[in-house]
Structure 1
């Protein structure tokens, strides 16, 4: 009894320490006392360390659990922090879901191996099987206990508030207290559950799971029978079908594992369950192969994306399990023993895969960026169908690829690419906008085309973005819809000025003046005369797409000489007033 109480105190203290450490790290990160990447590494280190030590202290003892938990935590935190280097912001990295999936595998799969290594050897399957399921049950029971503790606390707070006492609520307002309570309750729950291992064991749960074998096998069998008749058209439309296949394959593998148990003595005795388990193992490769095929078809048609890379890794691991189970069941003899050894090997492969996908050797974002760029270069996707926004979300590799496209779009001959990037609002630099405008602008007189770039550079960025999209198009006659005309509009200024005309067929038209003074070229307003819009506004000419198109067509017939406008100005000090025609 004394040892049991001591164990409870140790586990409660460990849980309390976990809660306080995690609270401290969240405060450090919120206050930006360390970089996001460092903060993520420290948080993963703490979570993985305490998760491991709470799971291993009962079976191994605190002294041996400490170094094992530390080793697992250091490896997981290091790999996850390394993977975070793919993104400028840790939040974007977490948004991929990859750190959660890989982190869970790296944190929990090594735990039964560490426990087994401290006993009968890390390859002892009965220990691995038992400790894996024991850890699941212990954590589940402890989590339920934490929920009950919080229910009691909240109920107690409401009861005391009836008589005007807010002591519990005031205590909970201290930020560290909820963390401490949760951690301590989790540690105490783990300690008590460990003591009652004979009473709270996974045996009952596993025996209940076995009963689902025939049911799930029947559903899988119906699927396989219906598949040839229904065809594969609906099977590979999206990743959701592939995810369903992989999920059912995971459920099937779990059910087979529960049936064969940790040893021949503990395996299911019912002939129905044994036969169901073997048949399920035989057909499992079909489901995993279909999932792999579905992903491959998507990649062949649309290239790699980070989601497809992750799905492909999961599918490849699933296919590995399927082949292990299928081959073991097909060979007969001690097929259950073969699956047990295959489970051991595949657990190591899964851990290696979770680690590898966090390294540059299997970087989903880099693989995807290279794939989509290759498709664009090969002409398998047109610029207007390319997902530039997705590319920018793919971490530093995607941004580097996007920047390469921006530089490419600025080069002559890539106007379609520049127009496509502008059309979707991607940040393209001014040189790209200007290059696109120049490529679609007719200059009058043509001898002054060399000056066009200097003149149009005076447009602001928003105007460049607008006109690069407009000028990239052509009119119905195939001629440019933008024109830059040089003339002496302002006799009071030296040299010629310029008039920029642009029309977007069927939508809008624009007139912009460009004048040059001591500081260089700058935009100027254009006053126009022409047909009035109606009686309510007799002095406002209608300038739209058709009108600007007509002006451009007229200018193509010959650039007329400027003529003076008969205007007089009333000079009032610094003010000048005139009536516009």
Structure 2
């Protein structure tokens, strides 16, 4: 591995230092350490005061936007300043801090604003919302996930740009700074964990002597918050002025982890080859294929860059096996992302957009940059120089996607609510199929406002939704809507086409509550909601004393139900066949030519293929069992 080293320029001022290379010692280490410790102490005191306000529930707590904006700024901005000292000029560092001081509160304000439902809710939901909003108005999980990720990428880019004195830095600088920040975060976390382990151990020792001072001290917020921020500042300073630690650890870590790439390539290639024989149906049955495929693609990208580093070195090239694995991994990304696109497209075409699917689509957009770029890079150069601009472009894309998602520009809740209304108005779904619990809970202010507009709408297409929307605005949450509207929503029975003609779906099945999964088997949607249709066939396998019911739809595996000793209908298992086999199975069932292969368990006979029944796995015991 080689890392570009740029010589440092000396300067007499600490606050206007040389733009230090991440691999070179930092000048004026002692004065710099004092400055960073002081920032860490001030950060701890600020966070302590704000945390007390959060617990007080009478002052700033009444202004959630302001309080949480201050908390986020107190959490992230001092850390950015500590990281930038000695590596950015004072003017640039000041402008960067000013930009963060504007951006972070803006995102926080939007995050809380989107949860403000007071203008549309009706009693008793309005009273419940006001009580909860007063005390439980916290940043959303997506903000707390995407904001640190975006700030990390932006900080690495800003530091690299300051080092190279360019708006867009060279790839070796991006690589060096990103890994330096990553290892600083890891070392800081380990340092803080070790510090608190020692303090807790000391408290336990003194407790043996009935001395409670230390145990009481470390439980006080005025102690543990500043101590933690001081420890973080000290750890970041030590790893900054001792760059050899970072360089050696980075080299060791990347060398070790690069040997995982051949294993990952073997597994992913085996998975893709298996799809050729098993088909795609098993992927869609899981319901989370897109997330798994995107996670696998992300892992491959990380492993690829652990081998590539800041460019394949000619002085100390990787082993030939690693290089071939690198090229194979670049090629395997494209089919993984293509499968993710197909899986997500199926779900969206069937059920429309949800916030989760929108996050998946944005993830696919970023993954597509990596997949297409890496595939093109395979054709352009022997040392895969094309990977560098792809990584930089993808980093900018991640920043843009994060910012758009956390702002009104691409708020997933807003887009999903608009899609629900558009599907109803276009006739893609019946008004009764609109997901009211989603609109009430997960649609945020956009969903609740849409419900309020439906109650006042004169659109004949929405007439059947007015009463339900009124009920939703009065309900404290989506679960209440489901409970109040249970009988009207389900209507299971008429949506199941029974065979032979004249037979009806047993009343016990239509009235029974079926969750999404029973003993790890996906239950067909038609048994849970009248919005989906399927076919039911009464059959009698060899040795069965009574008729059993085979349920077939297009989106899940055929499922066999039978009555137990207490005449209650239960799931016996499923037949793992591809969707391409369903027409043949229907023809055989309707022609009464179903054959069973002699076996210790049920096996359907489809031409020359025997399909065994996969029994339901025993589930965990519950209080209802």
Same fold, TM-score > 0.5, yes or no? yes
The aligned counterpart of 1:386 is 434
The aligned counterpart of 2:52 is 27
Please tell me whether the aligned partners of residues 292 and 316 of structure 1 are also in contact (alpha carbons under 8 angstroms).
no
1:269 is displaced (CA, Å) by: 2.2
Aligned with 1:187 (options 233, 240, 245)? 233
The aligned counterpart of 2:516 is none
Please tell me whether the aligned partners of residues 112 and 131 of structure 1 are also in contact (alpha carbons under 8 angstroms).
yes
Q: Deviations over 1:26-77 (max 9, x none)?
A: 3334435332122222222222212322333364488864543443353233
Please tell me whether the aligned partners of residues 112 and 132 of structure 1 are also in contact (alpha carbons under 8 angstroms).
yes
1:414 is displaced (CA, Å) by: 6.4
Aligned with 2:35 (options 3, 6, 10)? 10
Q: Deviations over 1:230-273 (max 9, x none)?
A: 11112234552111111110111111112111134377521111
Please tell me whether the aligned partners of residues 260 and 303 of structure 2 are also in contact (alpha carbons under 8 angstroms).
yes
How far apart, in 1, do the equivalents of 2:298 and 2:460 lie?
Answer: 53
The reply to whether residue 175 of structure 1 matches residue 241 of structure 2 is: no
How far apart, in 2, do the equivalents of 1:181 and 1:117 lie?
Answer: 33
The reply to whether residue 123 of structure 1 matches residue 151 of structure 2 is: no
How far apart, in 1, do the equivalents of 2:409 and 2:394 lie?
Answer: 20
Which SS does the other structure have where 2:244 is aligned?
Answer: coil
How far apart, in 2, do the equivalents of 1:413 and 1:152 lie?
Answer: 66
Distance 1:161 1:5, change over 3 A: farther
Please tell me whether the aligned partners of residues 454 and 469 of structure 2 are also in contact (alpha carbons under 8 angstroms).
no
The aligned counterpart of 1:400 is 449
Please tell me whether the aligned partners of residues 48 and 69 of structure 1 are also in contact (alpha carbons under 8 angstroms).
no
1:208 is displaced (CA, Å) by: 1.3
The aligned counterpart of 1:235 is 283
Please tell me whether the aligned partners of residues 138 and 190 of structure 1 are also in contact (alpha carbons under 8 angstroms).
yes
Aligned with 1:250 (options 282, 293, 298)? 298
The aligned counterpart of 2:577 is none
1:165 is displaced (CA, Å) by: 2.5
When structure 1 is superposed on structure 2, of 85-94 and 251-260 the one drifting more is 85-94
How far apart, in 2, do the equivalents of 1:90 and 1:260 lie?
Answer: 50
How far apart, in 2, do the equivalents of 1:466 and 1:63 lie?
Answer: 61
How far apart, in 2, do the equivalents of 1:94 and 1:62 lie?
Answer: 34
Q: Deviations over 1:315-357 (max 9, x none)?
A: 111111111111111x232552111111111111110111112
Distance 1:234 1:37, change over 3 A: farther
Which SS does the other structure have where 1:137 is aligned?
Answer: helix
How far apart, in 2, do the equivalents of 1:237 and 1:38 lie?
Answer: 45
Aligned with 1:274 (options 299, 323, 328)? 323
TM-score under structure 1 length normalisation: 0.68
The aligned counterpart of 1:492 is none
When structure 1 is superposed on structure 2, of 18-27 and 247-256 the one drifting more is 18-27
TM-score under structure 2 length normalisation: 0.63
The correspondence of residues 14-413 of structure 1 with structure 2, limited to 5 A, is 14-30=39-55, 31-34=57-60, 35-57=63-85, 59-60=87-88, 65-88=93-116, 97-120=141-164, 121=166, 122-201=168-247, 202-237=250-285, 240-265=288-313, 268-329=317-378, 331-334=379-382, 336-393=384-441, 394-408=443-457
Which SS does the other structure have where 1:235 is aligned?
Answer: helix
Please tell me whether the aligned partners of residues 19 and 179 of structure 1 are also in contact (alpha carbons under 8 angstroms).
yes
Distance 1:91 1:205, change over 3 A: farther
Please tell me whether the aligned partners of residues 331 and 374 of structure 2 are also in contact (alpha carbons under 8 angstroms).
yes
Which SS does the other structure have where 1:337 is aligned?
Answer: coil
Please tell me whether the aligned partners of residues 111 and 139 of structure 2 are also in contact (alpha carbons under 8 angstroms).
no
How far apart, in 1, do the equivalents of 2:215 and 2:346 lie?
Answer: 57
Which SS does the other structure have where 1:154 is aligned?
Answer: helix
Q: Runs ≥4 in structure 1, deviation > 6 angstroms?
A: 90-93, 410-415
How far apart, in 1, do the equivalents of 2:77 and 2:275 lie?
Answer: 46
Which SS does the other structure have where 1:119 is aligned?
Answer: helix
When structure 1 is superposed on structure 2, of 142-151 and 171-180 the one drifting more is 171-180
How far apart, in 1, do the equivalents of 2:51 and 2:393 lie?
Answer: 37
Q: Deviations over 1:111-141 (max 9, x none)?
A: 1111112211342111110110111111111
1:358 is displaced (CA, Å) by: 2.3
Distance 1:143 1:66, change over 3 A: farther
When structure 1 is superposed on structure 2, of 399-408 and 110-119 the one drifting more is 399-408
Please tell me whether the aligned partners of residues 239 and 295 of structure 1 are also in contact (alpha carbons under 8 angstroms).
no
Give the unaligned 5+ runs of structure 2.
1-25, 117-132, 476-482, 492-510, 512-625
